[in-house]
Amino acid sequence: MKKKLAKKIALVTLGATLIFSSFGFKSDFFEIAKQIEIFTTLFKEINMNYVEETNPAALMDTAIKAMLADLDPYTNYWNEQDVEAARINNSGEYSGIGATVQVIEDALLIMEPYKGYPADEAGLKAGDEIIEIEGIKVADYTDDVGELLNGSPDSQINIKYRRQGEIKSTELTRSAIKLKAVPFYELLDQKTGYIVLSRFNTKASSETIRALKDLKNQGAEEIILDLRGNPGGLLTEAINVSNIFLPKGELITTTKSVIEKYNRAYQTQKEPVDTQIPLVVLVNGRSASASEIVAGAIQDLDRGVVVGARSFGKGLVQRPKELAYGTQLKITISRYYTPSGRCIQSLNYAERDEEGNAIKTNKEDYNEFKTRNGRSVFDGGGISPDVKLETSEYSNITNALLSENAIFDFATEYYYKNELSDPEAFEFTDADFNNFKSYLKTSDFDYKTATEKELGELLATASQEGYEQDILDHYKSISTEIDAQKKKELDEKKHEIVSILTDEIIKRYFYKEGLHEYYVDHNPEILEAKSILNNTQRYSEILK
């Protein structure tokens, strides 16, 4: 009897060991269970006993977001609306008004109306601020207010919006919106094909193949693939786009994780379209994720020349995990590596500075790798181009101008003050740049340098210790010097700022399509790409 009992206990113990070891996590199972029990008890007590009525859903949403904030910005909780938004983003199809919008304090700011879609046909412009949708004030709406713009095709929607301080109303008829992965392609000079790939949705590779074949039929003997501003998307499509120019069975990227099952090597699966046609890939600081996988593979395998500026450096791999009630957790599971072994990721979210910002890899810590031909390439985050151009770069001042919509708002003001009937006639002059600098002085733009932030902390500490008056004069003197340097920085980065201002202004008059047409003859990166492709010796030397 005792032997049977001992055998049963041994089996139970073994079973428990198998159950707990199968979780195979980075954390102890019992510690996880303990913390879940503590949280569940806490949540229950707060909702049952707090002095005022609580909103359990809102409390839980806050708790989840606070927990995830300690990880990376790509690990997110998705409610049902977020899940649907992700589906739309991957498919490129939805039903709505056809415009990119951004939530601001009390309105939805129209960033870009798509040509020929309801918002455009109703006369809405970039810079318009939607303040009311079907009688619902945007400022009072607590959920995802942008969802109010979507609905079934042919349904009506009434909105109020603010334009240059004036309140206007309009009625729109929603329609099916189809966002192209390749919004533009063209034969430039009888032999140079130019393809813009703007997103890696489910149609990215098929639309790129269609564009490439059409251009080759028109006589294209060389290709420029423009990935600037492409935020990425589906990993499978990054592999498939690479496969267009690289042979079957070629390693494109590997993913590495502390969880063994997420360690994978991704290779091309299909026959290529053209492995010989000379190729230039354009990237900039807003080329991320899947864009970097493609650019990294092309560079590491010496299949083409990369031109522009270092890409964003988003090398973290996410996977959606189903939760209850139609929600999901989009969780980072591994990191991307290029064929040579370079890690794409730029920021280390496990290490943060005093302000809680993720640490960026220092240049002195970059590691050297070799391409197939033996060329030296380096990690450190993102893809560093073979040919760097200042107009592609995004300095601290430029990123601040973009994040605070200073360039966008100036373009709005420019649009309502100036007429422009032909993009070929446009030139952003020195006088225009001086007007932009004057505009910044009267706007809410506030750019704080790292030095200013540290000085502010120093002054606060001095105040606490009673030394504020002693150092205040020195502080004012240094601040005056910093202001002078900031003004100087605007001029030093004029080339990149003017390039972005030009893009934004051209779009206001001629939409994204007009901007691509303007690029063909004026954009420095495209002109440089054409120069490289048209010089066989230079092209070959870069890849040797």
Q: What is the CATH number of the domain that holds 156?
A: 2.30.42.10
How confident is the model at residue 143, as a pLDDT? 72
- Whether residue 531 is contained in a domain is answered as no
Q: How far apart are CA 239 and CA 232, in angstroms?
A: 12
Element (DSSP H or E) covering residue 340: none
How confident is the model at residue 1, as a pLDDT? 43
11 versus 196: which is more confidently predicted?
A: 196
- Whether residue 81 is contained in a domain is answered as no
- Whether residue 21 is contained in a domain is answered as no
- Whether residue 75 is contained in a domain is answered as no
Say if residue 62 is in the same domain as residue 142. no
Look up the CATH number of the domain holding residue 361.
3.90.226.10
Nearest CA among 241, 223, 287 for reference residue 534? 223
Is residue 300 part of the annotated active site? The answer reads: yes
The predicted model gives 18-44 an average pLDDT of: 73
Is residue 289 part of the annotated active site? The answer reads: yes
Say if residue 271 is in the same domain as residue 327. yes
Query: Distance of alpha carbon 162 from its chain centroid, rounded?
Result: 28
Say if residue 403 is in the same domain as residue 373. no
**C-alpha distances in angstroms, 153 versus 28, 91, 103, 176, 479?**
51, 17, 24, 6, 56
Give the range of the structural domain holding residue 169, as residue numbers without chain letter: 93-178
Say if residue 348 is in the same domain as residue 218. yes
- Kindly report the CA angle at 102 between 98 and 107, in degrees rounded to 5? 100
- Whether residue 79 is contained in a domain is answered as no
Single residue among 178, 195, 211 that ends a domain in this structure? 178
Q: How many domains does the structure of the chain reveal?
A: 4
Say if residue 262 is in the same domain as residue 320. yes
- Set 314, 493, 507, 530: catalytic member: 314
- Set 72, 120, 226, 300: catalytic member: 300
The predicted model gives 441-447 an average pLDDT of: 83
Is residue 22 part of the annotated active site? The answer reads: no
How confident is the model at residue 251, as a pLDDT? 98
Element (DSSP H or E) covering residue 86: helix 80-91
Query: Please, which pLDDT band fits residue 380 given cuts at 50, 70 and 90?
Result: confident
Say if residue 119 is in the same domain as residue 53. no
Single residue among 158, 178, 198 that ends a domain in this structure? 178
Say if residue 204 is in the same domain as residue 298. yes
348 versus 263: which is more confidently predicted?
A: 263
Say if residue 299 is in the same domain as residue 355. yes
Say if residue 245 is in the same domain as residue 323. yes
Indicate the SS3 state at residue 507: helix
Res. 112: pLDDT tops 50: yes
How confident is the model at residue 463, as a pLDDT? 67
Question: What phi and psi, each to the nearest 5 degrees, are found at residue 358?
Answer: -65, 145
Say if residue 406 is in the same domain as residue 497. yes
Single residue among 134, 157, 178 that ends a domain in this structure? 178
- Set 205, 242, 287, 289: catalytic member: 289
Say if residue 166 is in the same domain as residue 121. yes
Res. 336: pLDDT tops 50: yes
- Whether residue 134 is contained in a domain is answered as yes
The predicted model gives 280-291 an average pLDDT of: 96
Rounded to two decimals, the pTM is 0.84
Nearest CA among 165, 234, 170 for reference residue 199? 234
- Whether residue 6 is contained in a domain is answered as no
All residues at 6 or more sequence positions from 460 whose CB lies less than 8 Å from its CB, including other chains: none
How confident is the model at residue 70, as a pLDDT? 86
Query: Please, which pLDDT band fits residue 451 given cuts at 50, 70 and 90?
Result: low
Say if residue 166 is in the same domain as residue 188. no
Mean pLDDT over all residues of the chain? Answer: 88
